[in-house]
Structures are given as structure tokens and as C-alpha cells.
Chains A and B, each alone.
Chain A
Amino acid sequence: MKFVIYGLLGGIVGFIGMYLMLSVQVEFNFLSIAFPVNVILTSLTVLLLLYVGISIIQMRKKANAAVSRDEEDEREVWLYKKFTDTNMIAIASVIFGIAASAISLITEQDPWLVISSIIVATAAFILSIAVSSVVNLFYPDRELPSISDKDYGKKLLAASDEGERHVMLEGLYRTFNTLNATLIFALFVLIVYSLFSGVSQLFAIFVISAVIIGANAQYFLLIRNRT
């Protein structure tokens, strides 16, 4: 219920915000800024990839370095935090890479930019898989699943202990609620944008609606059947 209220509030704020924005400049043409946005996104992805690459090397070094008993916990905490930070950056790089590729393809940019964007997006995807596999270095004695395994999520959950599952549950449930509210907000933004700009966003509205319904149906059916 909470997320619906937040979603509606977000929608109202979004409506007012978009109304004000569009009343100032209704005829906004993205094509005029597509090239610099594309270059910025691609460059940003490259920078994030550099961070991810350097982090992987740092984690490998740290995991293999000999430490005293006093430093053991400190190292574990460092590795855990670095791993989660790197994962977050890797996911961001994949999204920026996909966005850059989408802009270059949709707005028909120069071939060199299209190719660069796609290469960078592919590298981001590969590196994000490499980040996930680094965790096996930290815990060689644990039977953690490989990212290429079928049902990786299920297997990872099964390989985690109760404390780790507790942390994941807390994080995922909060994220689920935030995502629900944010997607409802996005729907309102797209509706208002369509109305005021005259550029139909109906396809995106259908896709987001399907994602919200699908994700919620999956969650509620899962908990409903665990009586």
C-alpha cells in the first residue's frame, strides 16, 4: 500500500514538474543534442569500465595477499564493500553503454560512434560478468554458483547462509518498493510528456505497465503459494 501512496505522490509531483517544464519549452528536440549526449555517455561508460577493471585487479591482489590474524576481518570487510561498490558501478556502466548504443542507433549517428558505443556496451557486459566471478576468489572453500549457471539467482540464495539471506531480503524488499514507486512515477511523467509535447510515449507506457504488473504478479503469486 505504501508504494502505491508514494507512487501517486510521485505522480502528482511529476505531473506538476513536467507541466512547468513543458510550459516553458514544449518543443524540445533531442536530436539537436544527441551527438554530445552520446559521446558523454560513451566516455562515462569507458571511465566506469576503467574503475571496474582497476577494482578487479585490487580485489584479486587483496584476496591473495597474506594478512595477519588482526587484519583478517578488516580485509574481509574491505573486500565485501569493494565488491558491492564495483558491482554497482559495473551495472551502471552496462546501462550507460546500452543507453549510448540506443542513442547512436536510433538517432543514426556516425558509424564510428555507433561502433564505439556498441563495443563499449559489450565490454561493460563482459566486465560485469567478470566482477561477479571475482567473489569465488574471496571464498574458495565455498561452493558458490558460476554466473553462467542455470538458475544462478536460486543457487546463490541456496549457497548463502541465513545472515546473508537476511541482508539480501532487506535490500531486495526495499528496492522492490522503491522500483514500484519509481516506475509508477515514470508512467505519470510519460503520460504528461505525451500530452504536452504531442510525441506519443504510449509504447513505453505499455512496456512499463507490463513490467510493473509482471513483477508484482510474480511476487504476490510467490508469497500467496507459501501458505
Chain B
Amino acid sequence: MKTRLKELRARNGLNQTELAKRAKVSRQTISLIEREEFIPSLLIAVRIARIFNEAIESVFLFEEEEIE
């Protein structure tokens, strides 16, 4: 899974700590997701997508073979 989290954070002027507070998770979780070392649960993915006013699939990008 790829993610646009870093790009969206920069666009919205948020640091990891601020995003973590808004998404009600730890900064470590945000960092793990950004480094693509952890796939978040649906609930956290929805929260993050909402913060950026984006659809989930435009924040978290899956390769076709990952979904099949």
C-alpha cells in the first residue's frame, strides 16, 4: 500500500503530532503509516481521509494485485 499522507500533511501545513491529535492516534502510528510500514484500520483511515477532505482511496493507494 502506498500513501499520500506526507504530501497531504505538507499541503495542509500539519506536522505529524498535530495530525495524530486530530486523528486520535499516536504520532508513532502516523509515522508508521507514512513510512508504509503499517496499514491502518478502516476507522483510522476514514478519520485521516476526512481530515484532508479526501476519499480514502485517494489517500491510501493500493496496487491492483493487492486488492485482487
- The residue on A at minimum CB distance from B16 is A73
Q: How far is the CA of A64 from the CA of B58 in the complex (A)?
A: 38
**Of the candidates B15, B16, B29, B31, which one forms a contact with A161 in the assembled complex, judged by CB atoms under 8 Å apart?**
B29
**Of the candidates B15, B17, B29, which one forms a contact with A163 in the assembled complex, judged by CB atoms under 8 Å apart?**
B29
A163 and B40 contact, Cβ closer than 8 Å, known pairs A73-B27, A76-B27 = yes
What's the least CB distance linking B15 to chain A, in Å?
A: 5
Is A164 touching B29 in the complex (CB atoms < 8 A)? yes
What's the least CB distance linking A185 to chain B, in Å?
A: 31
Determine if B61 is an interface residue (Cβ-Cβ < 8 Å): no
A163 and B18 contact, Cβ closer than 8 Å, known pairs A76-B27, A80-B28 = no
Is A163 touching B25 in the complex (CB atoms < 8 A)? yes
Determine if B12 is an interface residue (Cβ-Cβ < 8 Å): no
Is A73 touching B15 in the complex (CB atoms < 8 A)? yes
Could you list 27 examples of A-B contacts with CB < 8 Å?
A70-B15, A72-B15, A72-B18, A73-B16, A73-B27, A80-B28, A160-B26, A161-B25, A161-B26, A161-B29, A162-B25, A162-B29, A162-B38, A162-B41, A162-B44, A163-B25, A163-B26, A163-B29, A163-B30, A163-B31, A163-B32, A163-B33, A164-B26, A164-B29, A166-B32, A167-B28, A167-B32
